[in-house]
Each structure stands twice: as structure tokens, then as C-alpha cells.
Amino acid sequence: MNLAIRDVRFNLGRFLLTAVGLGLLLMIVMGMGGIYKGIEEDAVLLIDELNADLWIVQSDTRGPFAELSRLPANVEDRAWAVPGVASARRFVTHTVQREYQGRSIRISIVGLSWPTDRGEWLPIISGRTIAQGHYEMVADVTLGLGVGEHITLGKDTYHVVGITKNMISSGGDGLAFMSIADSQAIQFDAAGEATRLERAARRGRAEDDDITQSQPGMLERANMPASMNPAFGSPMVSAILVNLKPGVDIEIVREVMNGWADVTVYSGEQERQLLLQGPVDRARRQIGLFRVLLVAISAIIMSLILYTMTLDKIHDIALLKLMGAKDRVILGLVLQEAFLLGAIAYVLAYFIGKKLFPFFPRRVIVTNDMLVWLAFAVMVICIVGSALGIRKAMSVEPNEVLS
């Protein structure tokens, strides 16, 4: 005869309420783990998807994610020339926060190196990747844009042609992909008035300089667009991504590029580590600590619950002992109720979490590993939590029935 089940049935309401409370607590433990994992995955997701063997960034920086990196676009051409390089792409990223249809959206814009990179690698869930070098973009589903929508950024209007899933920046913002030229147009967009003033100022400076006396053509050009002035370089990019031909030793190529004084080169794995140790490290550690605390708190609460549950039955336990019940029977009663409570709470946590986590503003990734870990933790908590109650139950003298 199973005493635990009968006792639970007798106090069903209270037991279920306790299980729900504990389930919510476990759900939060699970969620914390999921958020931790989510931050980690989101952080490295773009790096993993870009899948570059080498990252060339501004010299002595840890860019382009951990800090700002700017380098001339022509480094790409230099990279192409290194033996063993299969491809080199420019990479540009920056974040904008704009109003769109009355709401504010944060977009992390990633420039694709058109035409070599058309974003075929993107995890598109609807629509297509970009098919022209201008005015098309692919947006992540979290941005809330639909295929066919038009969004104005800077002076141009962009047509959303495709939607990706789970493409999030390390800051948690949805990514949007477009050609580098477009992304730079947005980044360096200036109001018409600002441009006019800048050109006028440029002309003013040219007039003050005696070089324009001998070179009147320069004066002419001073108030034309920057792209018509050979003296102005093209806009900087964030990084150059390099992929190697199969079988090429990464260290040899790196050696060559490290010889260039104006850049620093990282491997894909190093870039990942930079990101994990940089921007997301503190958030990660904070959540990790919180998670440990939550587990400890759950254990304490569970102990208290199991202890009071045992105290409630102490008279019955004394009675069982009086009737000559073996310790095993009493141990079973306390432990089985603990496991039942733990199991119900765990299942509740799982299902509530499953329903709730998708509504979280950031990704919550609950992996199977984590579920196994949590099940194991709940089991340990059940055993440790019962310890107090079991000690109490075991020390009860049968003659306490008489009191």
C-alpha cells in the first residue's frame, strides 16, 4: 500500500499549490539557464554564420564587435592578393534606432559585400535574399517587418525582400542585411543642409589655401560630392573577412597579414572568444550567478516545504513506528512525496516555460543538456531537501503517539 500517494490525495489542494509554486520557481531557474544560453548563442551567431577563417580589423583593436574598428575598404584587395586566400569580403555593421509606423525599432545593419556576397548563407524563412546591389534588404523576424514592406532609412527607401530567423546581434537587436554601399549610405547619411554647409566650408578652406591659385580645378571640385574628390578616401569598413582555400595553413596566411602594420588579424575562433569575453561577459556572469542563487533558494524552499510536510505527519509516523513499521516504510513515505513534488514541479516548469519563454524579449534557449541537468538538480534538491524531514521522522519515538 502506497502511503505517499494516499497522503498526497488527502492534502491534494495544498500539495498541488505547493507544486505549482515550486514549478514556477524551477521555471525561472530553467529560464535563467535559457537566457544565459541565449545570450551566448546570439553573441556568436553572426560570427558563426559568417563563417570566416580570418578577421582583419583595425590595428590594435579587438573589433568589430567588442570595440569600434575602421579600416580602408581596399584592404580587401590586399587580402585577395595573399596566396592561399579563396575569398575576401568587406564587413560593415552598425546599429540604428528609428521610428517605423509609430513604433521604435532597433536595427543592427550588416553590410554584405555585394556582389561577391549576396547573403545566400542567410537562414531565410520567407521571401528571398537580396538580388540587387541597392534598395533591398533582408530583415530578421524579430524586427517585425514583413516581406514586401518598405522602410525609409536615411534618404532611401528599402524593400524588405526576405525574413530570417534567429539572426540577432550581441546586443539583442534584430539584424538587417543589405549591400555595403547601402549600409554605408545609411551610416554616413547627412541632411542636405549639412552637406551643403560642408561643401561650402570646403570651398572656403580651398580659397584660403594658395594651392588653389595654381590649381584652379581644385577650387571647382571643392563643392562637388566627396566621391568626385580623389583626395577623399571611400568610407571605411568594419572588417575584412577572409576565407582560405582548402588545405591552406591558416598560420602562414596570418603571418603574412600580420606583417601589415595597419591591421590586426584574428581567427574565427579568436573573434568568438573576444566577443564572449567582451560585451556579453558581464551579462553572462551576472545571469550565471543568479542561476546558482536560484538553485540554492529552491533547495532551501523545498527543504522547508518537505520539512513541514513531515512535521504535519509526525503523529502518524510515530503511530506507524508503534505498529512496528520498518524504517524503510517511513523513509519511503517522506522520499516518495519529495520526488512526487519534484517531478510535478519539474513537468510544470517545463510546460509553463515552453509557453512563456517565446514571449521573452530575448531568446531563451532551453537545451536538452539543460533539461537533463535540471532534472538531476531537482533530484538532488529532493534528496537534500528531505534530509531534514527524514531526520525528524527517524528520531520520532513511538511513544509520542501517547502525548
**Of 5 and 194, CB closest to another protein:** 5
Segment near another protein (CB under 8 A), from 32-40, 49-57, 288-296, 318-326?
A: 318-326
First to last CA, the chain: 27
The reply to whether 250 sits near another protein by the rule CB under 8 A is no
Query: Cβ of residue 392: shortest distance to another protein, in angstroms?
Result: 18
22 CB-near residues (< 8 Å, 6+ apart): 298, 301, 302, 305, 341, 342, 345
C-alpha cell at 376: 538531476
**Of 149 and 316, CB closest to another protein:** 316
The four Cα atoms 39, 42, 47, 50 give a dihedral, to 10 degrees, of 170
E-strand ranges in 314-353 read none
**Measured distance CA(284)–CA(28) in Å, rounded:** 16
Buried b (16+ CB within 10 A) or exposed e, 264-294: bbbebeebbebbbeebbeebbeebeeebeeb
Query: Cβ of residue 340: shortest distance to another protein, in angstroms?
Result: 14
- For strands 136-140 and 156-164, give the pairing: parallel
**Of 10 and 359, CB closest to another protein:** 10
The reply to whether 329 sits near another protein by the rule CB under 8 A is yes
The reply to whether 226 sits near another protein by the rule CB under 8 A is no
Are 21 and 273 contacting, i.e. CB atoms less than 8 angstroms apart? no
CA angle (251 as vertex; 245, 255 as ends), nearest 5: 110
Q: What amino acid is encoded at 375 in this protein?
A: A
The reply to whether 13 sits near another protein by the rule CB under 8 A is no
**Measured distance CA(124)–CA(78) in Å, rounded:** 32
Buried b (16+ CB within 10 A) or exposed e, 23-46: bbbbbbbbbbbbbbbbbbebbbbb
Find the binder of another protein among 157, 234, 277, 399 (CB under 8 A).
399
The reply to whether 324 sits near another protein by the rule CB under 8 A is yes
The reply to whether 1 sits near another protein by the rule CB under 8 A is yes
The reply to whether 14 sits near another protein by the rule CB under 8 A is no
**Of 278 and 398, CB closest to another protein:** 398
The reply to whether 43 sits near another protein by the rule CB under 8 A is no
Segment near another protein (CB under 8 A), from 2-10, 105-113, 210-218, 298-306?
A: 2-10
The reply to whether 319 sits near another protein by the rule CB under 8 A is yes
Find the binder of another protein among 226, 299, 325, 379 (CB under 8 A).
325
**Of 322 and 343, CB closest to another protein:** 322
Are 123 and 167 contacting, i.e. CB atoms less than 8 angstroms apart? yes
The reply to whether 116 sits near another protein by the rule CB under 8 A is no
**Of 209 and 327, CB closest to another protein:** 327
Give the interface size with another protein as a residue count (CB under 8 A).
22
**Of 15 and 55, CB closest to another protein:** 15
The reply to whether 395 sits near another protein by the rule CB under 8 A is no
The reply to whether 281 sits near another protein by the rule CB under 8 A is no
Segment near another protein (CB under 8 A), from 20-28, 71-79, 166-174, 321-329?
A: 321-329
Segment near another protein (CB under 8 A), from 64-72, 200-208, 319-327, 334-342?
A: 319-327
Query: Cβ of residue 313: shortest distance to another protein, in angstroms?
Result: 8
Helix (H) or strand (E) holding 269: helix 268-277
**Measured distance CA(141)–CA(30) in Å, rounded:** 25
Segment near another protein (CB under 8 A), from 1-9, 73-81, 206-214, 233-241?
A: 1-9
Q: What is the DSSP string of 127-150?
A: E----SSSSEEEEEGGGT--TT-E
Give the residues lining the site for another protein (CB under 8 A).
1, 3, 6-7, 9-11, 316, 319-326, 329, 397-399, 401-402
